[in-house]
Amino acid sequence: MINCITIDDEPLALAQLEGYISRIPFLHLEASCQDAFEAMDVLSSRKVDLMFVDINIPNLNGLEFVKSLSEKPVVIFTTAYSEYAIDGFRADAIDYLLKPFSFEDFLKAAEKAYKWIGISQKKEPVMRLPEDEENLFVKSDYRTTRIRLSDIKYIEGMSEYVRIYIEGDDKVVMPLLSIKRLEELLPPERFMRVHRSYIVNLEQVTEISRMRIVFGETFVPIGENYKERFMEYVNQRIMR
């Protein structure tokens, strides 16, 4: 079953999408959203595999919304504007439906997403660094760099790559690697995901203010879905 959401500011368009989705056995509609901010709330709290996104939506258009996501579901754009097609595919959309589209066209796009998601879910087993390993080798800018795990302050996810911030250095290493893959690789007793876009080195955490982790002049937010686990870690170490 594929969990999906729809994003469109036109109620009739949402109703049509809901009707089409209800006719496809492998699709489950998680939510219908009228703008990008509603969709962000859904993505932060639910598992979403596929998004049907209109481009011309208020506040933040569909293209910019999709580009802003560090980890995005499969995307199918639904729009009345053919001139956005190239931009849509550059945003890694798997298909582009031009309004008005038929159920047959919608079904073909959904089947394409179904096949793509099925292939992407056939992943290699999760591998972690050995427990006694103190170094991580990453490829960045046509070179391989060795980084001591203890020197990593925090990691920021940026769509298809990450920024690794190093202690005592202005240097930032940017390997082509997803934040999810890096989270799987790093030892969980030393590194913790605290936000959809951030992993922190727990040994480097020295100050927390207003649900943000302070690294000098940088503030790393603690996401709502990660707050309980992180605060449990902190509370276990508070002197009483």
Q: Of the given ranges (36-50, 151-165, 195-209, 212-226), which has the lowest mean pLDDT?
A: 151-165
Residues 115 and 172 in one domain: no
pTM of structure:
0.52
Domain-ending residue, one of 94, 120, 146? 120
- Which pLDDT does position 88 carry in this prediction? 67
Rounded CA gap, 14 and 19, in Å? 9
Rounded CA gap, 5 and 151, in Å? 40
Domain-ending residue, one of 93, 120, 147? 120
Q: Is 130 a member of any domain? A: no
Residues 165 and 110 in one domain: no
Q: DSSP string of 141-182?
A: TTEEEEEEGGGEEEEEEETTEEEEEETTS--EE--S--HHHH
Q: Is 128 a member of any domain? A: no
Domain-ending residue, one of 72, 96, 120? 120
Residues 14 and 94 in one domain: yes
Rounded CA gap, 50 and 96, in Å? 13
Task: Give the domain range for residue 146.
Answer: 135-235
Q: Is 49 a member of any domain? A: yes
Q: Is 126 a member of any domain? A: no
Residues 67 and 142 in one domain: no
What value does the mean pLDDT take over residues 20-25?
93
- Which pLDDT does position 193 carry in this prediction? 95
Q: Is 127 a member of any domain? A: no
Q: What is the CATH number of the domain that holds 21?
A: 3.40.50.2300
Residues 45 and 69 in one domain: yes
Give the tens place of pLDDT for each residue, 164-207: 999 876 678 888 778 888 898 899 899 999 998 999 999 999 99
Give the tens place of pLDDT for each residue, 68-127: 887 789 999 998 877 766 776 677 788 999 999 999 999 999 999 988 887 655 554 556
Q: DSSP string of 173-214?
A: E--S--HHHHHHHS-TTTEEEEETTEEEEGGG---EETTEEE
Q: How many domains does the chain have?
A: 2
